[in-house]
Structure 1
Amino acid sequence: MASSSANIKFGKTFYVWPTGVHKATIIWLHDVEFTGYCSVAALKSLKHPNIKWICPTAPKRPVTSLGGEVTTAWCDMTKASENMLDDFENLNDVNEYITSIFSCEPENVMKGLGGIGLGAAQALYYTSYYAFGWVPISPQIVIGINGWLPGWRRLEYNMCNTTLGAANRAATSQILLMHGTSDDVISSAFGYKCADSFRKAGFPTLFKQCGGSKHRLIQCVLL
């Protein structure tokens, strides 16, 4: 897959500001074809007074699984399957962008990362890279809805063959993965395999299946 990292241009970032003492910042990543604005109303409705939500918008790029349609996407993606090709170059570009956002937040607040669909995949990818020692900021809270882990088959290998302290870094991220049993884009079984790979690699991970509704409907209900 070709990368457009030299000309990458992210869209507008939207915020849900804390109404109380700022104790945590969570970056929330939207799914393919959406924007950061699409999550704002739902996140406001959660009414967590101490959380600052940051909702960036992905760059526009051709997406192979959509027949080459140009739309907002954190990276390119092929047809979803356990053997899908991963666009590591663009995933890594977004990792740098996430780090730059976290770096502007106060050091004393908890950092979190989450998303849905392709956004969840990016969030989980960043989390794995922190454990490997390849990004500098720990996402202590990680939430993924109807997502997967790019490069999931190599997670344990990378944990054993990267910098010292990978297990300790993995233990700092509390991961909650939620998946619809009738998701027609990413199967629940694939989501479970990714969750299981996290658990085996030493990440504290909870996997929760949700009642059978289609991928887009779950976006509306769970967000």
Structure 2
Amino acid sequence: MSLAVNTVLQVVHYCCCATKLFPCAFLVLTVFVLARTESSGIWKILKMEMVLEGHFSLIVKSCNKGLVLDYCSVQLQSNINKQKVRRYARKQKGGKGEKLICFCVSSTSKTSFHFYQIFLYLQDFLSIIAAIGGFASAVLRAFEMSFSNSSVGSGSRTARRTFEFGRTHVVRPKGKHQATIVWLHGLGDNGSSWSQLLETLPLPNIKWICPTAPTRPVAIFGGFPCTAWFDVGDISEDAPDDVEGLDASAAHVANLLSTEPSDIKLGIGGFSMGTATALYSATSYVQGKYGNGNPYPVNLSAVVGLSGWLPCSRSLRNKIEGSHEAARRASSLPLLLCHGKVDDVVLYKHGEKSAEVLNTTGFRNLTFRTYNGLGHYTVPEEMDEVCNWLNAGLGLEGSRS
């Protein structure tokens, strides 16, 4: 690597040493400088965003040999292919939640040292931000509880949370409009990223609506705020369910579908936490009401869930078996669930258990697909399965018989 580039790294390193503040901004600036100044093509920015499931990710493609610095373990590994990074994300648990920054650097020792130091400062910075976020969340919750208690005299026993949903992205059908599907992103993501993928699918008769979840404190991240359809502290059958948050998100989805023409088939799909919300919406539709007792207003024709889980599963069987109409709806609602066998965020066992519970509860029209070697992301094979299933299940024009 050239002397000029190494000098840039030194400057950034020393800035971090001097200030110990905003190293994330310094790091981003460094990568962009490298991308702009390195004429040999070693550095090319691939992607920089807060990726699915709240992992902080900065992914850079290297056209030369390099080293991977892992945010959690800070291990150096010389496993970068000349043409591509073999693994774009390596998820390792560290404390509450999972944070990852993965990128490639030149294999020169000086450069590696400076990036290693910057990485350590970045780790401290993110830890401080998470701590501040958790403290602020605790203060706000205490204030809300105090406010709620002071409102009892005015006739309000409990204070309901208010949720401000983000921007909604719509992908218009390229052919005759026959179906509308609301697609729900995962924890920490937004509707825009999925709308771009869904637009490329060979489903010209489907209109896609991709909303963005509210930004709220999330227990699994120690109270750190990010986009989430509901609060979650743990993914297990025994973990408490945020029914209020689930109701609010399911109602938002139903409102988006309620304005569609009466001859259009309606569906809900999602990834990870989006799957959990979609399945909660499915169970609300089957029961004819939300968890708070309000009526569910739309009829669903299809539900798709990728790499997710079923919330509120403990009491589901009793609620459905106690109603003939609920049992009828459950048996006729088409469901497609897909899960990777090496998913290390929402473990495969949670997806398998969700499919088992739904099947034994009466969801007879359920398809469960598994993929060897698939982690917590999507692959073309999986999306092809989704396309074929939707074409056949919704009877769309041009579908294969």
TM-score (norm 1): 0.92
* Residue among 1, 7, 11 paired with 2:162: 7
Matched, 1:207 2:343: no
1:174 corresponds to which residue?
334
1:1-223 alignment runs, 5 A limit? 6-134=161-289, 135-161=296-322, 163-203=323-363, 204-215=365-376, 218-219=377-378, 222=382
Distance 1:190 1:19 in 2: 36
Contact between 2:258 and 2:297, CA under 8 Å: does it hold in 1?
Answer: no
Q: C-alpha displacement at 1:63, in angstroms?
A: 0.6
State the distance in 1 between where 2:213 and 2:236 align.
22
The CA distance in 1 between the partners of 2:197 and 2:176, in whole Å, is 21
**Residue identity opposite 1:169 in structure 2:** R
1:119-171 alpha-carbon deviations (Å, 9 max, x no partner): 0000000101111111121221110011111111221111023x541112113
Equivalent-residue separation in structure 2 for 1:194 and 1:126 (angstroms)? 14
Please list every run of at least 4 consecutive aligned residues from structure 1 whose deviation after the TM superposition is greater than 3 angstroms.
Answer: 2-6, 219-223
The CA distance in 2 between the partners of 1:182 and 1:15, in whole Å, is 32
Greater RCO, CA 8 A, separation 6+: 1
Structure with max Cα Rg = 2
Deviations 1:47-82 (A, max 9, x none): 211000000000000011112110000000112223
Which letter does structure 2 place at the counterpart of 1:110? K
SS in structure 2 at match of 1:18: coil
Determine if contact 2:237/2:314 at 8 Å carries over to the other structure: no
Considering fraction of residues, name the structure with more helix: 2
- Determine helix, strand or coil for the equivalent of 1:131: helix
Indicate the RMSD between aligned Cα atoms, in angstroms: 1.8
Deviation of residue 86 (structure 1)? 1.1
Matched-pair contact (CA < 8 Å) for 2:274–2:308 = yes
Secondary structure of the corresponding residue to residue 7 of structure 1: coil
Distance 2:301 2:199 in 1: 21
Partner AA of 1:140 in structure 2:
S
Change (3 A) 1:51 1:5: farther
Unmatched runs of 5 consecutive residues or more in structure 1: none
- Identity across matched positions, percent: 38
Determine the C-alpha separation between the residues in 2 that align with 1:196 and 1:60: 32
